[in-house]
Chains A and B, each alone.
Chain A
Amino acid sequence: MVTKDEIMKIAILSKLSVGEDEIDKLTEDMGEIISFAYTINKAADIESDFDNINNLSNVLREDEVVPSMEREQILKNAKDSDDGCFMVKNIMK
């Protein structure tokens, strides 16, 4: 079963802040989600089905350059930009 510690670890990895009062509920919910997912294990022949999505393989493209997008367009949805770059809060501590 899922433990509180695991929930906290996942929260940290997912960059989510989880309050003390939420942990119990989240642990319970996550437990239910995971046990639901376990039903998949009962299905037969998972491996071979999963190894071939829609029976497709080798969907490959040729190595030919197509012009990239205008930088203006690339940066258009960025929260912040400067000097032609995406700008984020300093991540170096």
Chain B
Amino acid sequence: MKYELVAGFETHVELATNTKIFCSCTTEFGGEPNTHCCPICIGLPGTLPKLNKKVVEYAIRAGLATNCEIAEISKMDRKNYCYPDLPKAYQISQYDKPLCEHGYIQLSNGRKIRILRIHIEEDAGKLVHRRGDTLVDYNRGGVPLIEIVTEPDFRSVDEAKEYVEKLQLIMRYIGVSDCRMQEGSMRCDVNISVRPEGSEKLGTRTEIKNMNSITFIAKAMEYEYGRQVDLIESGEKVVQETLRYDDVTNTTSSMRGKEDANDYRYFRDPDLVTINVPREKVEQIKEELPELPEEKKNRYIDELGLPEADASLLTKYRKIAEYYEKASEGTKNPKTAANFIIGQIFRSVETESEKEEFNVSVSAENLNELIILLDSGKIRMNLAKSTLDKMLETGKKASELIDESDMGGLDENTLLDLCKQAVENNPKAVSDYLGGKEKAVKAMVGFVMKNSRGKADAALAEQKIIDMIKNT
């Protein structure tokens, strides 16, 4: 029998605010333990939380960017559980009135992953387990999070991977989070069940908690799918439980007695007043939303005429798209800047974080200057390419690297002269060409380019050389 995977996601995204959700401590990552703390975020009695305006704004942004409806009235609730990472013994979260509901993210196969809700809440502290005791650092306690909950709409691991990548990209674009999975600013819980293909009824699900890498998510899902299918095939039952994924052994294992939802005893936090979101505010945030990655990519393809692969590469990171737009501003052909960036500048960025930051030695303005020189006919493509390499090496501007004498291309006589020399100096290439090896002409064009220091028009030189060979 064939089995279908059914999965849903709960994703925690740390918001890029300056301060925590209910106090004015910094949210900066790292720092010596317990140095980003105050009586509010370590939950001392008598303290009162006060909601950060930015958190509400960012959550609304995230909601709008994922096609959600924004609630007019929202409120905060207490989720009670007892664990040392939570100094108050409850987490302030949202239960029945989340800020955003009923959105979706569309995948490349056309399927829509429905978003059930997005709510705001506070992060917990960090625990370090040692032999005999546990150390608690509350620097992360109270850092604002949004939790994005989907319906069980995933049918394959590939869909899940695409969703996480898309979500990450959207959140980065709209500037609400850096979504660095290794640093824990984006973490996923995945619930998984399997059912016979064609069946409508959902199987018993398990939940894999707290994964912080797309690779692990994919591996964990594959493992868990296999495990559940094996259980069913051998006549056993899947037990509803919370699992932890171990990336070393590539297996999932049960987490000790996590209290189930009813036991959180949610109730309204009496310390925090109602959140009212006027419709004008929603409209204003919508207006201010930047162009989203999907829209940008489509515009690059439809309006700028870029190939889809190029448009994807350029829109995958917000900073790269910004760089591209600056570099191509006022140039004749949008493809020129795209080619330079993808063909040459990309070589200087390797890691994900380098791509994300896109701090390259050639500024967008300097690339733009180079393209304008090329467009105006002052330099040829070959010279532009070699100049760009030098710019990458030195960080200098094109105008500093190209001699005045190199600009303006070649006059006809100089070109003809160089072509003549190329033919005379390469008898083997000539005979190869005449013998049917058309590619042999390239060697002679190379000679012209080299001796003109890239100023010659390669296509024109090739034509002239062929004419010369044929006419002798």
B285 interface residue, CB < 8 Å from A?
no
In the complex, residue of chain A having the shortest beta-carbon distance to the beta carbon of B264: A13
Q: Is B54 a contact of A63 with CB atoms below 8 Å?
A: yes
Q: State which residues 6-49 of B face A: CB under 8 Å.
A: 17-19, 24-26, 32-39, 42, 44
Complex: A64 Cα to B25 Cα, angstroms: 9
B412 interface residue, CB < 8 Å from A?
no
Question: A58-B276, A60-B52, A61-B53 are contacts. A88–B133 as well, Cβ < 8 Å?
Answer: yes
In the complex, residue of chain B having the shortest beta-carbon distance to the beta carbon of A62: B53
- A59-74 vs B, Cβ < 8 Å mask (1 yes, 0 no): 1111111101101001
Enumerate chain A residues within 8 angstroms of B135, measured Cβ to Cβ.
Answer: 82-83, 85-87
Complex: A74 Cα to B311 Cα, angstroms: 51
Enumerate chain A residues within 8 angstroms of B326, measured Cβ to Cβ.
Answer: none
Q: Is A68 a contact of B134 with CB atoms below 8 Å?
A: no
Enumerate chain B residues within 8 angstroms of A71, measured Cβ to Cβ.
Answer: 32-35, 37
B273 interface residue, CB < 8 Å from A?
yes
B435 interface residue, CB < 8 Å from A?
no
Q: Is A74 a contact of B37 with CB atoms below 8 Å?
A: yes
Residue in B18, B134, B268 whose CB lies within 8 Å of A87: B134
Enumerate chain B residues within 8 angstroms of A86, measured Cβ to Cβ.
Answer: 34, 84, 135-138
Q: State which residues 41-93 of A face B: CB under 8 Å.
A: 50-54, 56-66, 68-69, 71, 74-75, 77, 80, 82-93
Most chain B CB inside 10 Å of its own CB: which residue of A14, A58, A71, A88: A58
Complex: A56 Cα to B271 Cα, angstroms: 11
Q: Whole-angstrom distance from the CB of A50 to the nearest CB of chain B?
A: 7
Complex: A88 Cα to B406 Cα, angstroms: 73
A contacts with B, residue count (CB < 8 A)? 38
Residue in A56, A61, A65, A85 whose CB lies within 8 Å of B137: A85
Enumerate chain A residues within 8 angstroms of B129, measured Cβ to Cβ.
Answer: 90-92
Complex: A14 Cα to B80 Cα, angstroms: 10
Q: Whole-angstrom distance from the CB of A1 to the nearest CB of chain B?
A: 18
A25 interface residue, CB < 8 Å from B?
no
Enumerate chain A residues within 8 angstroms of B127, measured Cβ to Cβ.
Answer: 91
Residue in B18, B42, B256, B268 whose CB lies within 8 Å of A50: B268
Question: A69-B37, A90-B133 are contacts. A53–B82 as well, Cβ < 8 Å?
Answer: no
Enumerate chain B residues within 8 angstroms of A90, measured Cβ to Cβ.
Answer: 129-134
Q: Is B42 a contact of A74 with CB atoms below 8 Å?
A: yes
Q: Is B38 a contact of A84 with CB atoms below 8 Å?
A: no
Q: Whole-angstrom distance from the CB of B21 to the nearest CB of chain A?
A: 10
Complex: A77 Cα to B275 Cα, angstroms: 34
B73 interface residue, CB < 8 Å from A?
yes
Residue in A15, A83, A87 whose CB lies within 8 Å of B82: A15
Complex: A60 Cα to B273 Cα, angstroms: 9
Residue in A77, A84, A88 whose CB lies within 8 Å of B32: A84
Q: Is B136 a contact of A88 with CB atoms below 8 Å?
A: yes
Complex: A87 Cα to B135 Cα, angstroms: 5
Q: Whole-angstrom distance from the CB of B276 to the nearest CB of chain A?
A: 4
Q: Is A61 a contact of B273 with CB atoms below 8 Å?
A: no
Closest 6 CB pairs of A and B: A85-B135, A66-B24, A63-B54, A86-B136, A60-B53, A56-B273
A53-B273, A84-B32 are known; give 6 further A-B pairs, CB within 8 A: A59-B51, A68-B35, A68-B38, A69-B38, A75-B34, A84-B137
Interface pairs (19), CB distance under 8 Å: A50-B268, A51-B75, A51-B274, A52-B273, A59-B50, A59-B51, A61-B50, A63-B52, A65-B24, A68-B26, A68-B37, A69-B37, A74-B138, A84-B137, A85-B33, A86-B138, A87-B133, A88-B133, A91-B84
